[in-house]
Structure 1
Amino acid sequence: MVYETFKKAVKMNPDAHPIVHSDRGFHYTSNVFHQKLLDQRMIQSMSRVGKCIDNGPMEGFWRIFKESVITNINSVAVKMWFK
C-alpha cells in the first residue's frame, strides 16, 4: 500500500520534490523506499530511534491542519443545511 500510494503521488505531481515525513515503519526504513525517494529527488524525514519527541512539531502541524479542515467542512455543511 505504501509503494502504491507513493507511485500515485509521483504520477499526479511528477515535478514535486517534497520532504517526506514518516514514522519508522518497515516500509519507510527499507532500502527500496529510500531508493524511490532518491530517484524522485525527495528528502526523507523521520524521528530518531527512541526519540518520539522529534515527531512533535509534525504531529502538531497535522492536528491544526485536520482541525481547520474539519471546521471548514462543518461550516460549509451548516451553511448548506440552513440555506
Structure 2
Amino acid sequence: MMSVLRQVKELLKEKSEIQQKLDTLEKEGNNHSFEERKKRQRSLASEVQRNFECPINMCGKKYGSEGSLNQHVKLKHPELVNKS
C-alpha cells in the first residue's frame, strides 16, 4: 500500500513539474496554439492569371497553372491522354 502512495506522490510531482515547464514555454511565446499559427495566404479566384488554355477548341477553359490544366485534360478529355 505504501508503494502505491509513493508512486502517486511521484506522479503528482512529475505532473506539477511538467505543468510548470509548459507554463514557462507559453510565457516565452514558443508554444503557439493552432489558431495563432499563420495560415498560407491564398489568392482569390478573381486574382489568378489564367495563362494555360485547354487545347480542345470548344472547351475554352483556362487555368492558372500547367498542373491544373493537365488535371483538367485527364479528367474531362481522357481521349487526349490515351492518344499520347
Q: Shared topology, TM-score over 0.5?
A: no
Q: TM-score, with normalisation over the residues of structure 1?
A: 0.30
Higher relative contact order, structure no. (Cα contacts within 8 Å, ≥ 6 residues apart):
1
Which structure is higher in helix share? 1
Which structure's CA Rg is the greater one? 2
